[in-house]
Structure 1
Amino acid sequence: MAKSDLAARPIFHHTRDSIEGHLTIVFCALAIARDLQNRSGASINKILTTLEPVRDGIGEINGIETLIPAQIPESARTLLNQLDPPH
């Protein structure tokens, strides 16, 4: 993982609780990213690029909200199987 993968931005927290909460979230995200990289063997950038198109949507037809499930590309399916192999 490179420093550029973090896309760090300035934070504007003023209380200790807010700062600690922000840092907790950042370190959790780093731990999750590292775990995903270790289990898949791919960079976090590759993982995000592969999984980006996998999104459900909500559409409205005649005033009724309908869930439109994601179509999972084969590359994403392969990556997901690497992350959670069958038991």
Structure 2
Amino acid sequence: MEQSFRMSKTDLRARPMFHRTRDAIETHLTIVFTALAVSREVQTRTGLAIRKVIRQLRPLRSAIIAINATTHTFAPEIPDDKQAILDAIHGA
């Protein structure tokens, strides 16, 4: 439990929220616990700490560029080590 709490504060960047209504509080808690559950599953599947997964995958970017009514989509070039992480998350 303590490890999950530390993870939620640092790696998930969960910060205190000052909600006043019950719906807002419940929504916030649902989002935080969902992020925690997803993060735990990613750690289980990859064998890596969520912080390392985030650092490894954050630089991957795609782009959609519109020029003269034509749209072009550019996928990121994914190195093999990063693709292995994505495959583990996907369950391949």
Q: Give your verdict on TM over 0.5.
A: yes
Identity over the aligned pairs, expressed in percent? 42
8 A contact 2:43–2:49 mirrored in 1: yes
Q: CA deviation at 1:63?
A: 4.1
Instruction: Name the CA distance, whole Å, in 1 between partners of 2:49 and 2:59.
Output: 17
5, 9, 12: which one aligns with 1:6: 12
25, 44, 59: which one aligns with 2:50: 44
Q: CA deviation at 1:8?
A: 2.9
Structure 2 segments unaligned to the other structure (5+ residues)? none
SS in 1 for 2:11: helix
Root mean square deviation, CA, Å: 1.8
8 A contact 2:65–2:72 mirrored in 1: yes
- Higher mean C-alpha deviation, range 44-53 or range 20-29: 44-53
Q: CA deviation at 1:47?
A: 0.7
Instruction: Name the CA distance, whole Å, in 1 between partners of 2:12 and 2:64.
Output: 30
Q: CA deviation at 1:50?
A: 1.3
**How many residue pairs were aligned?**
85
TM-score w.r.t. structure 2 length?
A: 0.78
TM-score w.r.t. structure 1 length?
A: 0.82
Structure 1 segments unaligned to the other structure (5+ residues)? none
19, 32, 35: which one aligns with 1:29: 35
1:47-76 C-alpha deviation (Å, 9 max, x unpaired): 111111222211122343322112112221
Q: Does 1:76 align with 2:89?
A: no
Instruction: Name the CA distance, whole Å, in 2 between partners of 1:8 and 1:28.
Output: 12
